[in-house]
Amino acid sequence: MSQKPPSPMVLLYFLGLLLLATFLVGRLLWPFVAILILSYLLATIFSPVYTFFNRKFSSQFSSLFTCGLIGVLIFLPMTFFVGTLSQEAYALFQLTKGTNLALKFTEFVEQNAILLKLKGVIEGYGIKVELKEFGAELSDLGRMSALFIYNQASAWAANILNFVFDFIMMILVIFFLLIDQEKLKNYLQRLSPLPDHHDRLLLAKFEEISRAILIGNGICGVIQGVLGGLVFAFMGINSPVLWGAIMGILAFLPIVGIGLVLLPASLILLLKGKIAAGVLMAVFYVFLSFSVEYIVKPQMVGERVKMHTLLVFLSILGGLKVFGFLGIIYGPLIVTGFLTLVDIYFGSYDVWVKSPGYWKSDSHKE
């Protein structure tokens, strides 16, 4: 016996109640939205580990083991990293706090024949170069950068209880997601008014971009940051952990990447007369950037992420500006959702939206 369809008034009333309930649930979960998103991404990435162990063991044990592996691979290194980063950022802030850096910059330029010649060439075109003012601006930039990094790292270190609580909560969410991830996907597909193949396409795109960001860009960023920090430590450059962290973040950005740190460092070494060290730094940058970007990353990411380089660059910068550090993840995810919806629109809805007869007739109601 077929169910009698509800009247339009009843349907609108119910949809209003459903939207209200959805809004209230969203308000309740909003404080944990970052944890929920990261948990889902990590659960997606580590699901092959869970699936492998679930073939021989129970789902609860397999999920618990996978969560323990996540804790060892992520939580322990991050705890050490945050503490060291806050110390080095504070030391850099103290270095740039006064006029010491500005004076050192002025002395460095005045003692360097190449920079003095460059200064003379620039002034020959009528552009006056004030070394003290430029050094002061450089000092202010360094101080603001160091203070920002120190505030971020020290906030994590000071609120260690919040950090531990958030991580425990994330592990708890991952534990249940690994067990019930397929049930959640089916539930969301049934809740969505879109056709099932469109829902599956959206979920697949989000999973692909999350793997590309966290596995491809994430691991490659860690590799470049760690190796860059080790080279800085080997050459006796101060704050190698801090600079390694900066390089790890910059590695997410296409086009520029770690060159924003390594190339100026190479130039400074050359200007100081350390020709071998400067050349070695430049060669290291070319080798590391080429091997990671053109050998390692394509093997990890493959052809799954088909997004223009400039769009990736803008999505990460925009994400950092809007969402902070997690914008590295959120930016590309938002753009991926937009591009996927555009593809669905072109494939299924474009012809109907542009057809005047569709809106005037009752053919779409069949």
CA distance 365 to 236: 73
Given this model, what pLDDT does residue 1 score?
47
Report CA Rg, the chain.
27
Structural domain spans, the chain: 35-180, 197-257+292-347
CA distance 12 to 225: 54
- The residue type found at 222 is V
Contact partners, residue 317, CB within 8 Å, separation at least 6: 253, 331
Torsion angle, alpha carbons of 18, 21, 25, 27, to 10 = 120
CB atoms within 10 A of CB 54: 19
- Which residue is listed with tokens 């990671």? 292
The number of angstroms, rounded, from the C-alpha of 81 to the middle of its chain's C-alpha atoms is 17
Extract the tokens encoding 183. 């049930």
- Cβ atoms of 101 and 138 within 8 Å: the answer is yes
Closest CA to 205 of 340, 41, 43: 340
CA distance 170 to 74: 12
Torsion angle, alpha carbons of 184, 190, 196, 198, to 10 = -70
Extract the tokens encoding 347. 């494939």
Given this model, what pLDDT does residue 174 score?
92
pLDDT tens per residue across all 366 residues of the chain: 456 777 778 888 888 998 999 899 989 988 888 888 888 888 888 888 999 999 888 999 999 999 999 888 877 777 766 666 666 666 665 655 554 555 565 555 555 555 556 556 566 666 665 555 555 555 555 556 555 665 655 555 555 567 777 888 889 999 999 999 888 888 888 888 888 888 888 888 777 777 777 777 777 888 888 888 888 888 877 777 777 877 887 777 776 778 878 887 887 777 677 788 878 888 888 888 888 777 777 666 655 556 677 787 788 888 878 877 777 778 888 888 888 888 888 877 777 777 766 666 554 554
- Cβ atoms of 332 and 309 within 8 Å: the answer is no
10 Å CB burial of residue 15 (0-12, 13-18, 19+) is exposed
Given this model, what pLDDT does residue 154 score?
57
- Cβ atoms of 292 and 223 within 8 Å: the answer is yes
Check residue 214 and report its DSSP letter. Answer: I
Contacts within 8 Å (CB) and 24+ apart, 289-294: 289/224, 289/257, 289/258, 289/259, 292/220, 292/223, 292/224, 292/251, 293/220, 293/257
Predicted structure pTM score: 0.66
- Cβ atoms of 235 and 281 within 8 Å: the answer is yes
Beta strands (DSSP E) in 51-209 are: none
Given this model, what pLDDT does residue 140 score?
57
Extract the tokens encoding 270. 């050359």
Closest CA to 149 of 248, 260, 50: 248
Extract the tokens encoding 217. 């860009």
